[in-house]
Amino acid sequence: MENNKNNPFIEIVDHKVTELPDPKKDKDKDQDKDQDKYTTKLQDEPQDIESEGNPEVQSDIKTEIKSEAKQEKHHKHAGHSRDQKEPEEKKPGVLSEIIEWIKILVFAAVAAFLLNNFVIANSTVPTGSMENTIMAGSRVFGSRLKYTFGDVARDDVAIFIYGYTCRNCGAEYRETDAGVCPNCGQADSKNRVIYYVKRVIGMPGDHIEIKKTGEVDASEISKLPVKSSTGKVPVGTLYVNGEAKEEVYLPEPMICDGNQFPEVDVTVPEGCYYMLGDNRNNSMDARYWGSNNFVKRDRMIAKVYVKYWPLSEMGIVH
C-alpha cells in the first residue's frame, strides 16, 4: 500500500484500488487518433511521396484536386447544355420526298432501257408458228449478249428483225436492201420494227432443200384443217448439205405438196441465215419471203432461252 500512496493517479475507494485517468496518456492517445485520421485522409487522396509530412504541399495538393474536380464538373455541365441546345433533325418536306421518288423512277427507267436494249430482248410470239416449242401468245426472253459477243448456231431459236410496219401508209413489209416502204417510200428508220421468232435452219454456205418424200394419213395433221379425197396428205423432208435432218421439234409431219407448201432448194449466202418455224404447216417463214428470204447477221438480235408467260408454259426453250 505504500507504493500506491506515492502514485498520484491511484485512488483507494472502499478498500478498492482505482486508477485515475492519466492526462499525459490521454494526450498521447488523442495525438495517435489524429495521426490515424490524417493517414487515412492521405490514403484517400492522391499525393506525391515527397509531400508526406509537409502541410503546405498537402494543402496545395488538396486545392489542385478540388480545382480539377470543379473543371470536370463544369465540362460535364457544358456538354449537357450543348446536347440540350442541339436542334432536332428536321423531317424531310414533301418536295424533298417527291425529288427522291423522281430520282428512283429515273434510275429505274434508265436501268430498264439499258437492260432491254443491250442485255435482254423481250418478245411476244403472237401466232402458232413455233408450236409446240413456243405456244401462241407466249412471251419469251432472249440474250442480246449471246449474239453481240458470240456466234449464231444451228438450231438456235432466235429473235430477229423481219421487217417494218409503215407509220405513213400502215403496210407491213419484209425488209429490203432499198431501206424504204415499198408502198409509199418512207424510210425504214421512221417505221415500227417487226420482230420474228424462228429457228436457225441454214448457216452461211449451207445448201438447204425440202423435198416431197411420202404421204401420211390426213388424221396426223392437226395444226390446220386439211381436205383430201384420198385421205392422204403429201409430206416432205428437210435436207442440209444433202443429208436428211431429223427435226424432233416438229409437232407433226411437214406438208410438202409443191404448191401451197413449196419445195425448197437454196444456198445460204455468207453472213446470212435461213429461218423456219417449228410449226412448219402454219408458219410464215423463209419459204414465203420471195427473193429476200435470208436474214443478215446484223439483223439477228437475240437467242431465246426462256419462255416466261403464261406461267403454265414457263420453261427453257430448246
Q: How confident is the model at residue 47 (pLDDT cuts 50, 70, 90)?
A: very low
Q: What is the pTM of this model?
A: 0.68
Burial of 161: CB neighbours in 10 Å, binned 0-12, 13-18, 19+? middle
Residue 222 confidence (pLDDT): 94
Contact present, 241 and 206 (Cβ < 8 Å): yes
For the chain, the farthest-separated pair of C-alpha atoms sits apart, in whole angstroms, at: 169
- Rounded mean pLDDT of 205-233? 94
Whose cell is 401462241? That residue is: 136
Which cell goes with 165?
410496219
Write the pLDDT tens digit of every residue in 73-120.
Answer: 555 554 544 445 555 556 668 888 899 999 999 999 988 888 877 889
Whose cell is 446470212? That residue is: 272
Least confident of 53-67, 153-167, 201-215, 273-287: 53-67
Write the pLDDT tens digit of every residue in 147-173.
Answer: 999 999 999 999 999 999 999 999 999
Write the pLDDT tens digit of every residue in 253-273.
Answer: 999 999 999 999 999 999 999
Alpha helix segments (H runs only) across the chain? 2-6, 23-44, 55-85, 94-114, 144-149
Contact present, 163 and 173 (Cβ < 8 Å): yes
Spell out the long-range contacts of 134-138 with Cβ–Cβ below 8 A and sequence spacing 24 or more. Answer: 134/197, 134/278, 134/304, 134/307, 134/313, 134/317, 135/313, 137/310, 138/307, 138/309, 138/310, 138/313
**3-class SS at 255?**
strand
Mean pLDDT of the chain: 82
Contact present, 166 and 183 (Cβ < 8 Å): yes
Contact present, 253 and 220 (Cβ < 8 Å): yes
Residue 89 confidence (pLDDT): 59
Rounded Cα–Cα distance for residues 67 and 231 (Å): 118
Rounded Cα–Cα distance for residues 114 and 143 (Å): 13
Helices and strands, counts by H and E, the chain:
5, 15
Contact present, 196 and 158 (Cβ < 8 Å): no
Strand order in the sheet with 264-267: 243-244, 232-240, 207-217, 264-267
What φ, ψ does residue 273 adopt, rounded to 5°? -140, 150
